[in-house]
């Protein structure tokens, strides 16, 4: 039986959380599968908190929104002050069109909506879920600082941010925690991001600490996945990658057997032994898995154990990308300099759209990706046809008016230019015609 769950300091602004948290994404419909019975999931949350796991992590994107509603219902049976509640904003859509938002109006609207869904007066830790590459991080942080001053949030966090973004954000308002994927499965952040957090006194919250469940079941995980589980498409669960990763799992399983614990407990214990200010947030929708995760806090690892584990799971040991290409492209992006921001053009809701028909059989994705990075527009939607493809590009009025790359590539037909009324609302016709300037 595991002992009491200790408290740790997360960051240097005064936030104390349990040494392990509960990632709540899988408690509602998610990339891991369909929704589960609400009553059972509330029991999971109550059992976690009553067992000492008081740091609950959710997001407005989980469900979507249903996860926050579930947490709000679960909190009704708990003392609010006993729970450290974390939620996130910034991902508006990942389907059909990826849409990441970090503008002040959106940040405030999301916070207000999360407070209502959670039915609380304040949020303990509010994260930027993904960084908006079109908005200087200073602008986003400025609004979050106001929300702190108003008492709506207590602490601010970032998720999947680069060292430079972390430093720029921290200069505006102290960052309490950075959430990132960190585990024996993924160690890419150990070179730059984690040292940056250590230097600045920022806490670290590893998500997917069990390698998206790989350390719980190993290669058998794919056999147990429901049809709706998008992990099936993770490159690390595919073909030769899976066969290679299976061998590494067996070696970790053998070391766990010697330590008298499960592979998942060993993987969590490795993170818990990474030093101060680290709070992994494994997720589960099963009571037995929750109890097993809590038991990881009692597993003791010697320096020799740590070294042996790290020799098996070196930084590049596991084969395959850690995330799908679409999601990976949204991680660790940079934001434009503050000097580029012009508040006159902040109506990001209003979008120009190009349907750009290219007379060729297959798009050159490399060239398209370079164009997207140069212009900082949203990733395009590509519709393939027999002899051509349509490239759907969307970008804000601010982007078009201030972006030379867009001007040099496309010229707007001024006969169909949108008009702007006295309230600065864009009245766009049903379609916009652009000429390729080449």
In the 8-state DSSP scheme, what is residue 172? H
Unique residue bearing structure tokens 């001024």: 414
pLDDT (0 to 100) of residue 385: 46
| Predicted confidence (pLDDT) at residue 323 exceeds the cutoff of 90 | no
CATH superfamily of 7-312: NADP-dependent oxidoreductase domain (3.20.20.100)
Q: What angle do CA 83, 84, 86 make, to 5 degrees?
A: 130
> How many angstroms separate the CA atoms of 312 and 317, rounded?
7
Q: Within a 10 A sphere around the Cβ of 151, how many other Cβ atoms?
A: 9
CA–CA dist 302, 309 (Å, integer): 11
Q: What is the pLDDT of residue 434?
A: 34
- Compute the mean pLDDT over every residue in the chain, rounded to the nearest whole number: 82
Q: So what's the pLDDT on residue 229?
A: 77
- Break the chain into its structural domains and give their ranges: 7-312, 342-436
- Binned at pLDDT 50, 70 and 90, residue 376 comes out as low
Give the pLDDT confidence score for residue 408 in this predicted structure: 44
What is the reported pLDDT for 363?
44
Q: Is the pLDDT of residue 351 over 50?
A: no
Within a 10 A sphere around the Cβ of 367, how many other Cβ atoms? 9
Could you read off the pLDDT of 242-268 as tens digits, one per residue? 999 999 999 999 999 999 999 999 999
For the cut 70, the answer to whether the pLDDT of residue 341 exceeds it is yes
pLDDT at residue 167 above 80? Answer: yes
Phi and psi based region of residue 228 (left: phi greater than 0; alpha: psi -120 to 50; beta: remaining): alpha
Q: Give SS3 for 314.
A: coil
* Maximum alpha-carbon separation in the chain: 75
**Which pair of tokens denotes residue 332?**
């660790």
pLDDT of residue 373 exceeding 90: no
pTM of the shown model:
0.78
Confidence at residue 194, expressed as pLDDT on a 0 to 100 scale: 98
Mean pLDDT, residues 257-282: 97
Query: How high is the pLDDT of residue 360?
Result: 43
The mean-pLDDT minimum among 136-145, 327-336, 343-352, 427-436 falls in 427-436
Partner residues linked to 190 by β-bridges = none
What are the residue numbers of the active site?
Answer: 62
Over range 8-26, report the average pLDDT.
Answer: 97
- What is the predicted pLDDT for the residue at 3? 60
pLDDT over threshold 50, residue 312: yes
pLDDT band for 235, please (50, 70, 90 cuts): confident
pLDDT in tens, 104-155: 999 999 999 999 999 999 999 999 999 999 999 999 999 999 999 999 999 9
Please determine, for residue 340, whether its predicted confidence score (pLDDT) is greater than 80.
yes
CA dist., res. 296 & res. 207, Å (int) = 16
- Picking from 12-26, 180-194, 389-403, which range would have the lowest pLDDT averaged per residue? 389-403
- The Cα 26–Cα 30 span in angstroms is 6
pLDDT tens, residue by residue, 75-97: 998 999 999 999 999 999 886 66
270-299: average pLDDT: 97
């Amino acid at each position: 039986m595991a002992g009491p769950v200790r408290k740790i300091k997360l960051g240097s602004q005064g936030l104390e959380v349990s040494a392990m948290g509960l990632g709540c994404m899988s408690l509602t419909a998610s990339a891991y599968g369909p929704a589960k019975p609400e009553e059972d999931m509330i029991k999971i949350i109550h059992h976690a908190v009553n067992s000492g796991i008081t740091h609950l992590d959710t997001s407005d994107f989980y469900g979507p929104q249903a996860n926050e509603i579930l947490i709000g219902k679960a909190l009704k049976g708990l003392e609010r002050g006993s729970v450290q509640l974390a939620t996130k904003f910034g991902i508006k859509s990942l389907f059909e069109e990826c849409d990441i938002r970090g503008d002040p109006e959106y940040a405030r609207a999301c916070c207000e909506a999360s407070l209502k869904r959670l039915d609380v007066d304040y949020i303990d830790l509010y994260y930027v879920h993904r960084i908006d590459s079109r908005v200087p991080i200073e602008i986003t942080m400025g609004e979050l600082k106001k929300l702190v001053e108003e008492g709506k949030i207590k602490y601010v966090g970032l998720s999947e941010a680069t060292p430079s973004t972390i430093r720029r954000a921290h200069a505006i308002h102290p960052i309490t925690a950075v959430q990132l994927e960190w585990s024996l499965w993924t160690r890419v952040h150990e070179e730059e991001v984690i040292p940056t957090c250590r230097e600045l006194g920022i806490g670290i919250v590893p998500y997917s600490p069990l390698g998206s469940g790989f350390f719980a079941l190993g290669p058998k995980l794919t056999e147990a996945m429901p049809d709706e589980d998008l992990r099936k498409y993770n490159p690390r669960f595919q073909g030769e990658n899976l066969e290679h990763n299976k061998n590494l799992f067996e070696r970790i399983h053998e070391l766990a057997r010697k330590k008298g614990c499960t592979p998942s407990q060993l993987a969590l214990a490795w993170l818990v032994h990474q030093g101060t200010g680290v709070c992994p947030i494994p997720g589960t929708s099963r009571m037995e898995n929750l109890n097993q995760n809590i038991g990881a806090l009692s597993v003791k690892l010697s320096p020799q154990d740590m070294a042996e584990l790290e020799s098996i799971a070196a930084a590049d040991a596991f084969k395959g990308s850690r995330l799908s290409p679409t999601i990976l492209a949204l991680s660790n992006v940079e934001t434009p300099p503050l000097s580029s921001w012009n508040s006159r053009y902040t109506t990001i809701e209003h979008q120009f759209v190009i349907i750009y028909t290219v007379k060729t059989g297959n798009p050159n994705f490399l060239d398209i990706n370079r164009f997207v990075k140069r212009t900082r527009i949203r990733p395009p939607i590509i519709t393939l046809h027999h002899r051509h493809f349509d490239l759907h590009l969307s970008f804000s009025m601010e982007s078009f008016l201030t972006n030379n790359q867009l001007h040099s590539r496309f010229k707007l037909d001024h006969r169909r230019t949108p008009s702007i009324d006295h309230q600065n609302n864009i009245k766009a016709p049903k379609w916009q015609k652009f000429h390729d300037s080449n």
